[in-house]
Amino acid sequence: MIYSHFLFDYLTFEQKGDVINYLYNINNKNYLEEYIFNYINNNYFIEYTDEQYILFENKGEIGFYKKTNNDNNDTIWIEGENYLNELLETTIKQKYLYETEYIVSKFSQYIGYLINIHDKKNNSNILKFKLKFMKTIKGSGFLCEGHQKQFKLELINDFLFKDVDEDILSDSYIKGKPKQICMLIEIIFRHFDNIKKELINTINGNELKNNKWFLNPIETIVNKKYKQLIL
């Protein structure tokens, strides 16, 4: 079911608005609807005083939907204005900004994340999956699709599944499939983050249990904006 998180995050801001206006007015949700509803609530929902908001990435910035009701008392999410960035700044930082100690102790050696990139060829903004090697403080992450095939093999076989005796993927299997393999890698990072899979990492003789694997688009925007992470 983690694939539904993957699909949802790549929707446009307007499409996500349609989804929440649908989901928040269903009393008897099916399993998939409930799963996506919980994902949105856990990752993108915030409250400020008596108001409720949902935050989504919108062309590299934070976009807002504000909860209101129509004359029939149906829940309606309407697009919020830019002033909300300042009004909700403290609340947003409390939810999404990671402390340095947490980054050092909990972030995996590689962290996956979604970031908005301007596509000059098509003159459009698109979300791309990137990876960052956390042992290197300087330098931003790198696009998965553009990286070497051998790296992707090693990432899957020797890092993500290093506790498995046999290789998960072979060289011949991933040949000519950069986008598909990066989709697989992103879904694995999402899954590990969802189940809080622990990876033992030793720094200066201290054994740390890393269990943070993935940043959603809002986490990416906030931690980049306040310079907690170079992404």
Per-residue pLDDT reduced to its tens digit, 151-181: 888 898 888 888 777 777 777 766 667 888 8
Whether residue 101 sits in one domain with residue 85:
no
Per the structure, the count of domains in the chain is: 2
Distance (Å, whole) CA 80 – CA 222: 18
- Do strands 107-119 and 212-215 pair parallel, antiparallel, or not at all (unpaired)? parallel
Task: Find the distance separating the first CA and the last CA of the chain, reported in whole Å.
Answer: 27
pTM: 0.92
Whether residue 113 sits in one domain with residue 201:
yes
Distance (Å, whole) CA 29 – CA 19: 13
Per-residue pLDDT reduced to its tens digit, 39-73: 999 999 999 999 999 999 999 999 999 999 988 88
Q: Domain residues for 18?
A: 2-95
Assigned domain for 142 exists = yes
Distance (Å, whole) CA 203 – CA 209: 11
pLDDT at 78 over 70: yes
Whether residue 79 sits in one domain with residue 61:
yes
Distance (Å, whole) CA 153 – CA 174: 8
Whether residue 139 sits in one domain with residue 60:
no
Whether residue 135 sits in one domain with residue 33:
no
DSSP single-letter state for residue 28 = S
Q: How confident is the model at residue 144 (pLDDT cuts 50, 70, 90)?
A: very high
Distance (Å, whole) CA 44 – CA 92: 10
For 119, the 3-state DSSP assignment is strand
- Residues forming beta bridges with residue 128, ordered by sequence position: 115
Whether residue 134 sits in one domain with residue 36:
no
Whether residue 164 sits in one domain with residue 57:
no
pLDDT at 116 over 90: yes
